[in-house]
Amino acid sequence: MRIAVIGSGYVGLVSAACFAEIGHDVISVDNDANKISALERGEVPIHERFLAELLQRHHGFRLRFSTSVAHAVKASDAIFITVGTPQSATGEADLSFVEAVAQEIASAICTRKVVIEKSTVPVRTCEFLRKSLLFNGAKSELFSVASNPEFLREGTAVTDFLYPDRIVIGADDEFSTSMLRQIYAPLASGSYYSCADTIPFSGRAFTKARAIITNAKSAELIKHASNAFLAMKISFINAVANISESVGADITEVCEGIGADSRIGPRFLNAGIGYGGSCFPKDVQAFQAVANQCGYDFALLTEVMRINTDQQKRFLAKIRSALWTLRGKKLAVLGLAFKGDTDDIRESPAIAVIQALLKEGAHVRAYDPAAIARTRHMHPQTAIEYADDAYDAATGCDALLILTEWNEFAKLDLGRIRSLLKYPVVIDGRNLYENNQMTEAGLIYYSIGRSVGVPAKMLPIVNNTNLDPQLHIPDSTREAAPVSY
Ligand code: UDX
């Protein structure tokens, strides 16, 4: 199949590379000539596992790059739209990039095409897309529209594409359904998985991907509802973590117990400093805007967002409670990206926490395995000092904060960290350690939804650390008080 992918951001570039990997001839298009030139030179603009390998494997053979929508449309049977749908001032998705691309596609359609919306868009976008193509001169008999939402997580986007939980094909006509079925046939039939040099997948055995065929509106709704549900799961567990901390329970144990129920499942139950990224914050808000337009007050989503914002405030209160005052304190920060395995800092809780700390007069010395260059570029005015690694960050600092769940931050030499820090304090917003690991290394360990770990010989030091009565953060350094009846 000949495929055009319009928009070479995270979703577009990964999709284009993966379509080539499963055997299609692909043109990846972007209106940023610098980006296309860099791709032509073999540069990989994002930190994404296996992407460089796929680009190298297919560039110049089944994968080409172009800045011309018209050229790509003429040379293709299926056109995927993967341009950005940023948040507008009112919280709705701004679809102006989608519309601009639709106008360009319309004027280039001369033979039968399927135009497929892959970006995250509100329900009914396919309807508008069809209208826009018609208004801009495409003949109705020469195109169909369809929705094929992506469920790619940054960091694992390539394997999410090639080994998906499901492929959602939302189409209102047989032509589009059959075209999309053919495109995904190597995954749905399982033929890709028996090839010799497939991208490896660690985890469950994989034989075939499941295709779910729906109408276009259902597919659009599946995408928004999935992201809103996952965000709700994170906010829910963060709320439970706050109770857990108050009563002296351990959120990790609580999650193990909850997640063992197969109706709930263990994934996306990691308590922390809240969700971030380019999808959840924007999509939850956009989904709520969709609900409002339908006359439905989706108040549950307001609460999901409130808990998420509150989680950062609570973390800041925890830092204050551990360090007393922040002005002039020097803090080592591990993590800038919104999660591990990516260099993306969009809506990163780590950046929000750092900005609040700087505002309170603290000095920040930060390290991230991938996101330093992007942070320097996007926040040139922010007074962060950058370190070469975790130990360099910790050197001479008053405390160490863990803000992103990178694997390497879970494997630190804690004895070395202890020797480098001025005060023996670690405040972990991602629960990467058990209390005893830290206390055995002589460190006082604050985490989320659990009691504070204090080395035995230091117990008297931290017996009255709480603090912000408005946030009701208890003094969890003390043993839970016995309950009297
Ligand atoms: C998400 C969806 O998972 C994906 O299906 C969709 O296509 C795009 O949006 P992504 O934004 O890459 O993917 O990241 P994800 O792994 O979902 O994490 C989102 C945020 O939630 C991160 O900030 C992460 O740290 C946080 N998170 C995730 C938690 O706080 N706890 C968890 O248990 C899981």
C-alpha to C-alpha distance for 105 and 111, rounded to whole angstroms: 12
2-214 in CATH: which number?
Answer: 3.40.50.720
Which pLDDT band holds residue 461 (cuts at 50, 70, 90)?
low
Quick: pLDDT tens for 267-305. Answer: 999 999 999 999 999 999 999 999 999 999 999 999 999
Residue whose CA lies nearest to ligand 1 atom number 3: 153
- Greater pLDDT, 485 or 9: 9
Judge contact between 355 and 322, C-beta under 8 A: no
Residue 352 predicted with pLDDT over 70: yes
* For ligand 1, mutation pick of 82, 121, 150, 153 (most atoms within 8 Å of CB): 153
Domain with CATH 3.40.50.720 in the chain: 2-214, 222-485
Element (H, E) at 233: helix 216-247
Global pTM value: 0.92
Confidence (pLDDT) at 467: 39
Q: Is 276 in the pocket of ligand 1 (CB under 6 A)?
A: yes
C-alpha to C-alpha distance for 66 and 70, rounded to whole angstroms: 10
Judge contact between 228 and 302, C-beta under 8 A: no
Establish how many alpha carbons lie within 13 A of residue 377's alpha carbon, considering only the half-sphere containing its beta carbon: 9
Q: Is 280 in the pocket of ligand 1 (CB under 6 A)?
A: yes
* For ligand 1, mutation pick of 14, 85, 148, 234 (most atoms within 8 Å of CB): 234
Residue whose CA lies nearest to ligand 1 atom number 34: 268
- Residue of 18, 126, 279, 397 marked active site: 279
* For ligand 1, mutation pick of 236, 279, 304 (most atoms within 8 Å of CB): 279
Q: Is 279 in the pocket of ligand 1 (CB under 6 A)?
A: yes
Return all residues near 459 (Cβ < 8 A) that are at least 6 apart: none
Quick: pLDDT tens for 24-66. Answer: 999 999 999 999 999 999 999 988 999 999 999 999 999 999 9
Is 294 known to be catalytic?
no
Confidence (pLDDT) at 92: 86
Which pLDDT band holds residue 478 (cuts at 50, 70, 90)?
very low
Residue whose CA lies nearest to ligand 1 atom number 33: 268
Confidence (pLDDT) at 485: 32
Judge contact between 83 and 120, C-beta under 8 A: no
The residue type found at 379 is H
Judge contact between 360 and 329, C-beta under 8 A: no
Q: Is 10 in the pocket of ligand 1 (CB under 6 A)?
A: no
Q: Is 269 in the pocket of ligand 1 (CB under 6 A)?
A: yes
CATH superfamily ID and name for 222-485: NAD(P)-binding Rossmann-like Domain (3.40.50.720)
Q: Is 236 in the pocket of ligand 1 (CB under 6 A)?
A: no
Of all atoms in ligand 1, which is nearest to the CA of residue 11? Answer: 7
C-alpha to C-alpha distance for 449 and 315, rounded to whole angstroms: 11
Quick: pLDDT tens for 310-344. Answer: 999 999 999 999 998 999 999 999 999 999 999 99
Ligand 1 centroid to residue 275 C-alpha, Å: 7
Q: Is 315 in the pocket of ligand 1 (CB under 6 A)?
A: no
Residue 321 backbone dihedrals phi, psi, to 5 degrees: -70, -30
* For ligand 1, mutation pick of 275, 284, 348 (most atoms within 8 Å of CB): 275
Ligand 1 centroid to residue 413 C-alpha, Å: 28
The residue type found at 251 is I
C-alpha to C-alpha distance for 38 and 45, rounded to whole angstroms: 8
Longest Cα–Cα distance of the chain, Å, equals 80
CA 366 to chain centre: 21
C-alpha to C-alpha distance for 424 and 417, rounded to whole angstroms: 9
Mean local confidence (pLDDT), 205-226 = 95
Q: Is 404 in the pocket of ligand 1 (CB under 6 A)?
A: no
Quick: pLDDT tens for 355-365. Answer: 999 999 999 99
Ligand 1 centroid to residue 342 C-alpha, Å: 11
Ligand 1 centroid to residue 283 C-alpha, Å: 12
Quick: pLDDT tens for 135-189. Answer: 999 999 999 999 999 999 999 999 999 999 999 999 999 999 999 999 999 999 9
Mean local confidence (pLDDT), 113-121 = 94
Q: Is 150 in the pocket of ligand 1 (CB under 6 A)?
A: yes
